[in-house]
Structures are given as structure tokens and as C-alpha cells.
Amino acid sequence: MTRGFRSPQRDRRAASWLPPGQYDVGGNWPVLSAEVTPRLTTDDWTLTVDGLVGQPRTWSWDDLHLEERSEYRGDIHCVTTWSKAGTSFGGVSVDVLLAAVEPQDAATHVLASCVTGYTTNLPLSHVVGGQAWVVWTYDGKALTREHGGPLRLLVPHLYFWKSAKWLSRLTLMDHDQPGFWEQRGYHDLGDPWREQRYQGD
């Protein structure tokens, strides 16, 4: 082994796909919800993207299915220390939604809001460039209610609390506004590779 020729980054990844402090939950997919699971129908469900945009837009379930599809295949990481390898989710890239609404130059952050009132905040720079999706399938099947069906946000490079279930709105803002867990002591960004679990990490 010519260790000296390998970068520290490659060594870490070769050692494990797990971010620091995480364990492999295996075939399970735990459910973590602060709210009672809502019973939603796709008939009256809508997704709105508004705030600092040229043209706010609301998609019905059918409208959203006309947009270009994409898929995420990879790992997810919950702050409670479980990680799940090789998940696959299908939906639409947040890039597609943003292109439709034309974000204003002043927009720096996004607040994701759910039908239930749960919220989470994200820097705009972390939801563009193929880093975030709105998804309605898991493993090719409709996302179950407990896991956020009919539709959830997916931001897999951050801890999974950023992936808001039962998503109904993305609001672009010119400032950061802490969401449900962020107001309760969780980290503002939540990068698992930097182990940003709590404020001050």
C-alpha cells in the first residue's frame, strides 16, 4: 500500500461511507415525526414556491407531474445517528421549481413549510445545483404517509431533519429564519460530515 499517495478525504471514505458518529441502520427506515401524521389526498394537495421570486407559482399534483423528473440514489443521515445507504427517491429537482419562479438576486435563504406547520430553513446555495428534490416515490413506489407522502423535501447532503415531510411551500427570503428544530437548539445548517448536530457544533 502506498498510503502517502492517497488523500485524507479518500482514506476517510474508504474507511466508511458513514459520517462521524453515525451507524448503519441497515434495512430499516425509522419514522421520526414531531406531528401527528396527516392524511392528505393528492386532489387537494398543492406546492407553492413564493417569497423573493419574479413569479410565485403553485403546482397541483398533476402540474408537478408534468415537470422533468429526476432521481436521487444515495445515502441519508439522521441526526439521531442512524444512516441509511443506497436509498432511491424520485421526484423533481428543486432547480426545476426555481427556474419556473425566477428567484430574485436578493434571495439568500429558503424556508420550507409543511401542511402540519413544521418548518426548516436552508441557505439557497444548498438547494441548487442538483442538491435538493421534492420527492413522491421511494424505491419506485409511492412515498408512504409516515415518510412524508404524498410529497416531501429531500436534501440528502444535510441531516435528514432538513428533508421536510408533507411539504407544501418553499419561501425564498433575504435572511435566515430558523425552523422548527433550528429554534430548538439544532444546528442552523446541519452538515453530517462536519457533525453539525447542535448550535455551536
Helix-strand-coil split of the chain, %, nearest 5: 20, 30, 50
- Residues 19 to 38 in contact with ligand MTE, rule: CB under 6 A: 29-35
Partner whose footprint covers residue 30, from Mo ion, ligand MTE, none (CB < 5 to 8 Å by kind): ligand MTE
Q: How far is the CB of 117 from Mo ion (least distance, A)?
A: 17
Q: How far is the CB of 199 from ligand MTE (least distance, A)?
A: 16
Cα dist from 122 to 11, 58, 88, 159, 162, whole Å: 30, 20, 22, 11, 8
Work out whether 169 is an interface residue with ligand MTE (CB under 6 A): no
Work out whether 114 is an interface residue with ligand MTE (CB under 6 A): yes
In three-state secondary structure terms, 55 is coil
Work out whether 47 is an interface residue with ligand MTE (CB under 6 A): no
DSSP state of 53: B
Q: CB under 5 A: which stretch of 30-38, 97-105, 108-116, 128-136 binds Mo ion?
A: 30-38
Q: How far is the CB of 17 from ligand MTE (least distance, A)?
A: 18
Could you tell me how far CA 7 lies from the centroid of its own chain? 29
Pairing of strands 70-77, 57-60: unpaired
From 166, 172, 182, 196, residue interacting with ligand MTE (rule: CB under 6 A): 166
Cα dist from 46 to 29, 65, 175, whole Å: 26, 12, 25
Residue 147-166 contact track with Mo ion, rule CB under 5 A, x = bound: -------------xx-----
CA separation for the pair 174, 160 (Å, rounded)? 24
Q: CB under 6 A: which stretch of 56-64, 99-107, 112-120, 127-135 binds ligand MTE?
A: 112-120
Work out whether 186 is an interface residue with ligand MTE (CB under 6 A): no
